[in-house]
């Protein structure tokens, strides 16, 4: 039987991992992995859903906090993937904004329309 990590344990994981972002050798893959894990933790995305995301899937103009367009969501019994819109709750909106700013700094123009 698998017992999920407690909230303090998950918080400690992301705190330590976030601290490494400033000193990591390769920022882009580390930030990508951190972002994928954070999204799975904060809004309940599945691994396969996160793998299918693009930066254009962040829709800041929808809802109070913005929404994430999951184009390759879990289908039901052989129906194929289903699209859905996931609200950026639990602080995910602030986190996605932080990521968009970092990506803009790495490659100017990469994310200009994703900013609020």
Exposure on the CB side of residue 58, measured as CA atoms within 13 A: 23
Q: Give the pTM.
A: 0.63
Q: Of the given ranges (1-5, 9-13, 23-27, 79-83), which has the lowest mean pLDDT?
A: 79-83
Reported as a pLDDT band with limits 50, 70 and 90, residue 114 is very low
Comparing C-alpha atoms, which of 84, 49, 81, 52 is closest to residue 69? 84
- Give the pLDDT confidence of 40-95 residue by residue, as tens digits: 888 888 888 888 888 788 887 887 778 888 887 766 667 667 788 888 777 776 66
Max mean pLDDT among 12-16, 24-28, 106-110 falls in 12-16
């Amino acid at each position: 039987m698998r017992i999920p990590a407690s909230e303090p344990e998950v918080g400690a994981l992301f705190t330590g991992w976030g601290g490494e972002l400033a000193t990591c050798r390769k920022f882009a893959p580390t930030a990508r992995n951190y972002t994928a894990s954070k999204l799975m933790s904060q809004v309940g995305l599945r691994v396969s859903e996160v793998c299918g995301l693009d930066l254009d899937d962040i829709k800041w103009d929808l809802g109070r906090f913005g929404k994430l367009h999951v184009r390759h969501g879990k289908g039901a019994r052989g129906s194929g993937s289903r699209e859905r819109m996931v609200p950026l709750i639990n602080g995910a909106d602030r986190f996605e904004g932080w990521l968009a700013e970092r990506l803009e700094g790495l490659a100017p123009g990469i994310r200009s329309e994703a900013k609020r």
